[in-house]
Structure 1
Amino acid sequence: WNVTDILSDVLPPTGSRRLGIAYKTGTSYGYRDAWSVGYDGRHVLGVWVGRPDNGAVPGIAGYQTAAPILFEAFARSGVAITPHPSPPSATARLAQSDLPMGQRRFSMTASGLISASTREAAPQIVYPPEGAKVDLGAQTGEISPLVLKLQGGRPPFRWNGKPLTDLSRRRTNNWLPEGAGFSTLTVIDSAGRAATVRVFVE
């Protein structure tokens, strides 16, 4: 039931109307095969597009080539679409807003299934805070590293323009200032969102 629930929410190909079927598409390596298989609560229909000699057909793809034929075949078959079975009584159905933030990966819109990364919290530098004065021993000539703490955002991150590859699971890292005085710290996540703080190193 879970697979059917997912596949029945996939938008139909461009120019086709919803029929109440669940379907899946595929394209083989080298554009040799484009296929689509769909089903309702009783009927299954499959479509394959390709060459009998297994030659390549540049540009074919399951969604653009085979799926429209699948939907047209269902529409012209004359059979009444049989609804899919109801979910089992023990099935838990949750809205996206009920899921933990880390599991809100996709969202269904009028344009189809999209990444929900834009709904995740933007990156934030929680330590050091904006305008902080931190004593790292700059006056002694031996500067100690400063612990950085991030929150939100989607990895990988870039810190002051450089990849932040050794970020711990708790999103902490060490930063070694070049010297005393004001420093600007900027972090950018994989979605291009940024956070900046300015600190004074003593």
Structure 2
Amino acid sequence: LDYIWSSPGFPAPSLFSYVETCPKLNDNQFNDHCVLITAFDFSSCFATLAKARLKQKSEQRTIFLYKNLKDDIWDRFSNEVNLRLELYLATNHPSISSLSALSLDKLWHALKRSILGGAIDSLPFQHVSNTYHHKYPPELTMLIAINKFLNRLLFKLTTSRPSHPAQISQMLNSLPTQLTLLKSLLTDYTIPIYSTTPLSAFVKFLRSQKAL
């Protein structure tokens, strides 16, 4: 697996991706000794109803409290996932001796069930209201804000709905500031030279900045 593909219609925009080396996984035949991590912003997917309505309905969801976990808890979680994978294989596919023989769909189903079940049994969790919003680190909060700014600007430039020219002009004037903030967050990032004309090239430029 060299990349994570995200559908353009996926409601949670991708923020960034990076490769994490995992020496402890070197003996596992099902990976390439690295983990590809992608962060998505799901804040726009929660609490789509009014907060008062959500409070009235008392809707809740479960969050895992993984921020301050120690290595022994992660090891227990890893062992629990491995045991669940072995149990899944023995219970549902006794004639198969290796997970690699499963189809991609069945393998994903097994991984999803094992990871979620292992997390519930091993990691601390909390039931929270649907109005609860996870507190991100300041740098990630700023990155989310920049991503949303680029999304709004792209929408106004590409939608068939009428937009006020003054709003677009104001956002274009704010774009250099947003790119400067992006540079302060990404050490290897260099603000490219761009032009707002022609529109097709400018839209392509904005999308390239979102895909960093």
Q: Comparing both chains, which one has the higher relative contact order based on Cα–Cα distances under 8 Å and sequence gaps of 6 or more?
A: 2
- Higher Rg: 1
TM range (shorter): under 0.3
Higher helix share goes to which structure?
2
TM-score normalized by the length of structure 1: 0.26
